[in-house]
Every structure is written in C-alpha cells, then in structure tokens.
Structure 1
C-alpha cells in the first residue's frame, strides 16, 4: 500500500492545490511518503537508461531536488534497454524498487520485450547505500511484462502487474498474485482485467500501470489503457476488503474511464498514476503524467514531454473515489 493504510479521509478534505507540472519530463511517476515524513519520487526518464530517486519534505519540493541515480542499464543483453516505470516501496525494513527492462541483441532492439525486476537497499535513506539486484520476477510465461506494483492486505503481500498472455489477443492484461517475498510469487497469477471497452483498445489493447488504494472497505486499483498519446486514460477496478483478492469474481470494473484527456484544461493522455497524501495527511493526492499538447510528431513513446502532475483526489458520499479531470481537481 502506497503511503497510508485504511485511513478514513475527512469528508471535507483540505484545500490543497499544487503547482504543476510537479516534475517536468518524468513519465510514469511514483511517489511514496515514508514514515520519516519525506516524499520519495521516481519515474521513467526520457532516455530510458537509468533509475533516479528524489527526496523532499514536500511534494512541490521534488521539482527542485537533485536526483540521485540508483541504477543504470547494462550495455547489452537483459536489462539493457527501455527502463520503464520504476516504483519504490518500503517492505519489512528494506527499500525495494520495481521496474521493467528490455533485452537487446543484434536482432532485437528491445521494444515490447520487457520483463520485471527488483532492486533492494538496506539503508535507512534510499538515496544512500547500495542497490542490489534481486533478479527477475518469474511469472507464468516468458512474455512482455511490466508495471509491477505491490501492496499488503491483512498480513498477505500481493503483486499486481501487466503482462501479455500468448493466448489472448492484445498487448497486456492485469494480473494479481500473492508473494512469498518482495521478488517472488507464491501463488498462481490471476487475471483481473483484460482490455475490452472501446476506450481501452485505441492504438493498442492495453491494461497497465496499476496503482492500489485501500479506502472505505474496498481495495481500489486504478490502471491505464490504450496508446500513450492523447487516447491514454485511466480505468478503475475494485474489490471488497473481505473478499478473496485472488478470485477474479471478487473484482468489479468501471465501464467508463475515470480520468481522461481534458481539452478545457489542455491536459492530454493522463495516466500511469499513483496515490499519495498531502503533507498534513488530511487529503488524498493523485499523481499522474500528462502532456500539454495533443499532436505528437513520431512515436509517442519517444516524445519526452509527459510531465508528472499532482492534484487532490475527492471522495463521493458512497465511499468511491472522485477523480475530477486532469488540471481540474474535484470539489470537496
């Protein structure tokens, strides 16, 4: 769980507005607020060649903090290309970074050949100390896999990620499994979402970029869908906290996107989000990336201007999250 467990947010919330972009040219942003009071930030860099980490006492302060390089890609072979979507987590007294990396060779440039990997750091401050490679997360298939996230619920640790099933048309579905340690699955992987709606299959048939939020008796999982241009958007899954999270029937899915391009505010292709909390802990905060223009020259993956942004997250009277629109946070 990122930053807070089953906290019951005030229905009034707090008037929190952030200066955006939060961090420029950083896609797939991940923010973790630790018990030391600091925010830790990592994201995909435009060069896709390294993993960086920033540390700040405030969310807005992340923009001016000098990043520390935790790890760099290899020259060839596994872990040598397209370093995507790192996430930092604190588990049982140690720090972990989950990320995806591709394999390059004389015949393979490494695009869409990703696997998921884990780094570990025993230092109290993850901007210091040594990051050790714990290896690849082994899944059912040796196929395209990325965007691993992890959370704890009732004494069990889970992994949620995106992967290509060789028997299902499309690019990636969402899976969940229980873990025996931060880099090893102990249960069968269970598919909880497949791209099926029109808004999930534009350009690519994609479900990816999961983020978990535990609130109001529910486990919520946001995710991103479609190509990484202005069609990129977010959907939502949810399960009752009393349910068996490894049963597909436990999960419900939004029929419409919960967060999408907003022409009014000029924010395009919002997605690959995470959740954190305000400095006083009173308000849930949505962190995501988006561009401020619609038309893109060339492959959107190599357009560097997906900026990390932050805005408050609201809650409806029935206990469900209210996302608002990119650049237009919901009213409390």
Structure 2
C-alpha cells in the first residue's frame, strides 16, 4: 500500500511473449528486459481468483480519489478491460482524503472491498473501511454500500487490510501504527466475526527491525496470504516505496494457532527486490491469484520502470501492475525469483 504518516506518504513493471508462453506452460519465466506492464499506473494491485469465469481487478489510482474495478475472463484481458468506478470519496469530512489499496473479496455470496481512506481535512488520518455489494457483478456501482470503519484496538493510522479463511475461521491482517512503538507500521492479525468486525483482539505478528525493512521508513505493510503445502504464507512490503521497497515473507504452520505471535517466522532476507537487469524497481504490495489452469500460482505486484524519482514518491504515478508465475522450492516454500513482470495469456 501507499503509506503516509507525519504529513508524508510512502509510496509502483512485465513478462515478454516468451515469458508468457512459459507461464502458460507452467514453467518459470526467465528474466528479461522490461516489457509493457499488465496495467499502467495502478498501484497496490489486487486480482481475484476466477469467480464464475471472471477475474476482477482493483488497485490504487494516482489521484487517490476513487475505487475502480475491471473484469475479464483471462488475466491478460484485464489490461484493456473497461474500468468501472464503483465509489468516489466524498467532497468533505471522513473518507474525503487519500483513498488507498482497495482489495476485492467474495465472501458468503457477497462482494466486499477493503480500503483505506484519510479525511478531507487531514488526508493522512488514514483508517480502514469496508464496502459491500449483494450484486453478482462487482463492477456495478449501484450495488455498493458502505458498511463502515474497521474498529481496531487503537484509533491510529491503519491500512492495507486483507482477509482469508482457514480451518473454518476468517482472519483479517492489516498494517497499523501502534502507540508507543517507534515504527511507522507493524502487521496485526485478528479473527473476524463478520467481514467488517473483529472478533478477537489484534496480535502483532511482524515489526520492521531488519536492515531491509527500515530503509527510509520503518514499515511492514501490504500483507497478502497464500495457503500451500501445509503452511500459511503471508507476504508483506517493507521500507520506503521508492527503489528500496521490497517484499518480505512470514510463515506459519497450517495447524498452528495463527493468533499467537510465536506461530509466525519471518524470512531473514527479502523475497523480491529491485532488479537492475530487468529494469524493475520497488516491487511491492502484492496479491496472489491463479492461472487459467486453476492451479498455477500467479504473483501480482506493482513496480516502477526506473530507479530515480523526482519529488515525493507519493505523487509519482508510475507504479504499474505486473504479473508473473510464482515458483515453488523443493521444500514447499514459494520461490519469487526476480521482478520480471509482464502481461499476456496466463
């Protein structure tokens, strides 16, 4: 997610034809020169798994003023799909500031959008909110209603909510600035009683302490969950959102109590970082989907095509949505490789 605090914001790349062919065939794509991204100028990208034959996409727009949704029967089709505005920020008051990092989830036959919003008179007073739609097509703005703010333990800067179900329970993971902890944001988990209400108290599962997590800002944010091979994997983004932005990884045993901090182990090194040979910088705020075969795991993330940024990264619009195959190591852990990016028939 784009991150802001102290009136500053933290703040996004592609597979070529050969790489796309490899992905479609289930082979890892080799690193290549930069190619066109899947979607330009859309940060914090989120692509659903197929729902009744359709993939849906949402992400942050450079203006931070609205929530958009695209739909297509193939991931590649999202590149040119018509974009529907399902919600705009109000002209004043609560949620009238920066609108960040929407995620689209299908839960119990309804659609939900998790997003972060600042206030009109304080755009960085960011909190988490939830929209709901009972309509079958999430691109239809007529169905969306605001369910309200997600209330957490502290009324403080919070953002980047994501949700997943595991062993009959639904969880929320998000980033928040906890009072009395001298970091910009840490990661928290709680069980949900409904899609917008916490059932349990938050548990802190990650705090930025390693050198690669504290470049420019002390940040853990943008979590995304993937359950595979007897484990729950949670990626997250760290450091300032320029070329230093990167992905980290948390792992818990699938049978562990996910609400215990001790269940989670952080990789000592980042799993996806800027890569000069492929011309991709600041890869981060990812999500996961699957390929057309319903099996191939696909990494969705944003990155820039250049290292140097003029001015505040918050106002640089060129964080682009990119996709690539997620590989797997022999020990059952994910293999992210390098940010090669790309667009096409996955």
Question: TM-score, normalization: structure 2?
Answer: 0.88
2:135 paired residue number: 123
The change in CA–CA distance for 1:193 and 1:32 in structure 2 (over 3 A counts) is: same
Q: What corresponds to 2:288 in structure 1? A: 275
Which structure is richer in relative contact order (CA contacts within 8 A, separation 6 or more)? 2
Shift of 1:103: 1.2
Equivalent position of 2:13 in the other structure: none
Of 65, 74, 80, 1:49 maps to 65
1:60 is aligned, of 67, 71, 76, to 76
Q: Deviations over 1:204-231 (max 9, x none)?
A: 1000000000000000000000001000
Deviation at 1:243, TM superposition (A): 0.4
State the aligned residue count: 314
Aligned counterpart, 2:325: 312
Kindly indicate whether the alpha-carbon contact (under 8 Å) linking 2:322 and 2:341 is maintained by their aligned counterparts in 1: no
Query: Corresponding residue for 2:120?
Result: 104
> What is the rounded CA distance, in whole Å, between the counterparts of 1:126 and 1:135 in structure 2?
18
The answer to whether structure 1 residue 141 and structure 2 residue 133 are counterparts is: no
How far apart are residue 282 of structure 1 and its match?
A: 2.9
1:28-71 deviation per Cα after TM superposition (whole angstroms, max 9, x unaligned): 00000233121100000010000000000111110101100010
Out of 197, 207, 212, the residue aligned to residue 184 of structure 1 is 197
* Counterpart residue number, 1:91: 107
Q: Residue by residue, what CA displacement relative to the aligned partner does 1:254-278 show, whole Å, maximum 9, x if unpaired? A: 1100000001111000000000111
2:49 to 11, 33, 54: 33
Task: Determine the C-alpha separation between the residues in 2 that align with 1:16 and 1:203.
Answer: 32
User: Does the 8 Å contact 2:158/2:175 carry over to 1?
Assistant: yes
8 Å contact kept, 2:54–2:71: yes
Residue 259 of structure 1 aligns to a residue in which SS? coil
Q: Distance in 1 between matches of 2:220 and 2:283?
A: 14
Partner SS for 2:128:
strand
Tell me, yes or no, if structure 1 residue 223 matches structure 2 residue 236: yes
Q: For residue 96 of structure 2, what is the aligned residue in structure 1?
A: 80
Greater shift in the superposed pair: 254-263 or 121-130: 121-130
**What runs of 5+ residues in structure 1 fail to find an aligned partner?**
1-11
Aligned to 2:301: 288
For the 8 Å contact 2:37–2:341, the answer to whether it is kept is no
- How far does the alpha carbon of each residue in 1:103-135 deviate from its partner, in whole angstroms, 9 at most, with x for none? 132xx3x12x21000000000111124100000
Over aligned residue pairs, what C-alpha RMSD do you find? 1.6
SS at match of 1:281: coil
Alignment of 1:5-20 (within 5 A): 14-15=26-27, 20=36
**Residue in 2 that maps onto 1:161:** 174
State the alpha-carbon separation in 2 of the partners of residues 23 and 205 from structure 1.
29
1:13, CA displacement in angstroms?
7.1
**Moved >3 Å (runs of 4+):** 15-20
